[in-house]
């Protein structure tokens, strides 16, 4: 979340990417959209990052920065970049093949990260209504914080503290190109 306090994710990790940017005029696909990568511990924390695209080196860097080499496993879809990313941190890798209708294979699934994407979509539609790429990292930081604090019994207090301690942003800076 940009605070530098995050520990690497451990246990069973699911990773995936989502595409943001409205409806495609040409029938779907990532053209003209921006990519957000995510990794989540089952029962634990989430990490989100705006990468702009899903090139292998960006996925590998994201996994290296966010997944512990001591993690039990990394579960993803069949995108080849994840295989090499898992190997780069020395973690067992399991995959599902969504294009063939495979959504779960024993313990291997990406349902937890899909739930994170659903929460992000609901926030965009229901609360934010529209977001810009310029401010996307801030929206992702908020989503991360909300998810990682979902079990916090002092959430209201901690939210107020975070708001009070935040640096102010002038409107002209907020709207600058």
DSSP labels, 14-57:
EEEEEEESS--TTSSSSTT-EEEEEEEETTS-EEEEE-SS--HH
Most confident range, picked from 41-45, 120-124, 166-170, 172-176: 41-45
| Extents of the domains making up the chain | 12-174
The CB density around residue 26, as the number of other CB atoms within 10 Å, is 7
Q: And the tokens for 80?
A: 């080849």
Question: What is the mean predicted confidence (pLDDT) over 66-77?
Answer: 96
pLDDT at position 27 is 55
Using pLDDT thresholds of 50, 70 and 90, give the confidence band for residue 162: confident
Question: What pLDDT does residue 4 have?
Answer: 46
- Write the DSSP symbol of residue 129: S
C-alpha to C-alpha distance for 103 and 83, rounded to whole angstroms: 18
pTM of the model: 0.85
C-alpha span between 83 and 89 (Å, rounded): 10
Q: Is the dihedral of CA 18, 19, 23, 29 positive or negative?
A: negative
pLDDT value of position 24: 61
Q: Give the Cβ contact number of residue 34 at 10 Å.
A: 16
Q: Identify the helix (H) or strand (E) that includes residue 12.
A: strand 12-20
Look-up of token digits 């995050």: 6
**For range 66-86, the mean pLDDT:** 96
**Mean per-residue pLDDT for 116-143?**
86
Residue 39's pLDDT is: 98
Distance CA 113, CA 35 (A): 15
CATH 3.30.420.10 corresponds to the domain 12-174: yes
CA-to-CA distance for 67 and 50, rounded, in angstroms? 17
Which tokens go with 68?
């512990």
Number of helices (H) and strands (E) in the chain: give both, helices first: 6, 7
Mean pLDDT, the chain, as a whole number? 89
Distance (Å) of CA 132 to CA 13, 46, 118, 135:
29, 22, 18, 6
């Amino acid at each position: 979340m940009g605070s530098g306090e995050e520990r690497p994710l451990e246990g069973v990790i699911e990773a995936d990417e989502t595409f943001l940017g409205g409806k495609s005029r040409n029938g779907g696909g990532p053209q003209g959209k921006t990519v957000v990568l995510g990794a989540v511990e089952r029962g634990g924390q989430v990490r989100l990052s705006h990468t702009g695209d899903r090139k292998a080196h960006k996925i590998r860097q994201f996994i290296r920065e966010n997944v512990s080499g001591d993690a039990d496993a990394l579960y993803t879809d069949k995108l080849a970049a994840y295989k090499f990313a898992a190997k780069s941190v020395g973690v067992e890798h399991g995959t599902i093949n969504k294009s063939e209708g495979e959504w779960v294979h024993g313990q291997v699934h990406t349902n937890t990260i899909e739930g994170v994407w659903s929460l992000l979509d609901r926030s965009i539609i229901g609360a934010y209504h529209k977001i810009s790429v310029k401010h996307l990292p801030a929206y992702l930081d908020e989503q991360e914080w909300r998810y990682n604090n979902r079990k916090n019994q002092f959430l209201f207090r901690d939210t107020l503290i975070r708001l009070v301690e935040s640096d102010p942003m002038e409107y002209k800076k907020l709207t600058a190109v």
